[in-house]
Amino acid sequence: MFNGRLIRRTNNNDTRSHYDAAMSFCNQFDAKPFIPRTRADYQFYKEVRRILNTYQWLPANDRVQEGTLQWYTGEVASDISFWDWSQNKVMNSNSDADSDCLMYGGCGNPCVHLTGCNAHVSYPPICESILS
């Protein structure tokens, strides 16, 4: 449980994949990608990524409209300025038309940055159970 939500942490036994496969990963657990809407949510991702010690996909991209970050659900991602962006620049690496998907890791110090969606180097996002 995290802030009253049932979650599944990403672990080193999970398969690294490209963005679309990573966004589907949670389906096998009757779950969905965990969206870091708050500072506490982001800190949770930060801790999981620290334990993984490598790249992890975050469930957001700007495929629909270049420069507008959206969660995998299509909802506009707001309040993202407090994330650890590469070079302290929100939406860094967005100048490359092929860099549409959000990854956490790399950059010397772990940071958030946009990269190619077909990169097979990242672990899937944290999963949140769908409670009915």
- CATH code of the domain covering residue 92: 3.10.100.10
* Residue 1 belongs to a domain: no
Query: What digits encode the pLDDT tens for the residues 37-63?
Result: 999 999 999 899 889 888 999 999 999
**122 lies in a domain?**
yes
Distances (CA, A) of 74 to 32, 82, 92: 14, 21, 20
pLDDT in tens, 18-35: 999 999 999 999 999 999
Q: Whole domain around residue 86: which residue ranges?
A: 7-127
70 belongs to a structural domain: yes
Number of structural domains found in the chain: 1
Query: Does residue 93 have a pLDDT over 70?
Result: no
Q: Which amino acid belongs to residue 33?
A: P
Q: What pTM was estimated for this model as a whole?
A: 0.89
**Cβ distance 50 to 128 under 8 Å?**
no
User: What percentage of the chain exceeds 70 in pLDDT?
Assistant: 92
- Within a domain: residue 54? yes
CA 92 to mean position of chain CA atoms: 15
